[in-house]
Amino acid sequence: MENNNIKWYAMSDQGFLEIIGNFIRETRLSQNKTQAQLATGAGINRSTLSVVENGGGGTLLTFISLLRALQKLDFFEQLIIKKSLSPLQLAKIEESGRQRASKKNNNTNNSDW
């Protein structure tokens, strides 16, 4: 990404589709693949790929299929939520663990005697 001054929240949905299409096209060309080769690898029609590359959109499944065929699924690493706990939070979790066994319920009222 060359331009770091993109105003993401001001961008239209069509603008996002164009960025996605450009990414797919440039990645495909850098891997020296034709549209037909990428479409076959992704399991979609070449015309669908053409629509995506031209900013016409597509489904999320189409996008995932294209990223898989381009070996760019690491794109989704940014979506994984990584929880980090502070030492204080870890200490509280350890404290809340079980401290002792519970009493056995010796109910003498159920005796046969």
What pLDDT does residue 107 have? 59
**Per-residue 3-state assignment (H helix, E strand, C coil) for the chain:** CCCCCCCHHHCCHHHHHHHHHHHHHHHHHHCCCCHHHHHHHHCCCHHHHHHHHCCCCCCHHHHHHHHHHCCCHHHHHHHCCCCCCCHHHHHHHHHCCCCCCCCCCCCHHHCCC
Note down pLDDT in tens along the chain; length 113 residues: 455 678 889 999 999 999 999 999 999 999 999 999 999 999 999 999 999 999 998 999 999 999 999 999 998 888 887 777 777 777 777 777 766 677 776 655 655 65
Domains in the chain, please, with CATH? 19-74 (1.10.260.40)
What pLDDT does residue 111 have? 55
What pLDDT does residue 52 have? 96
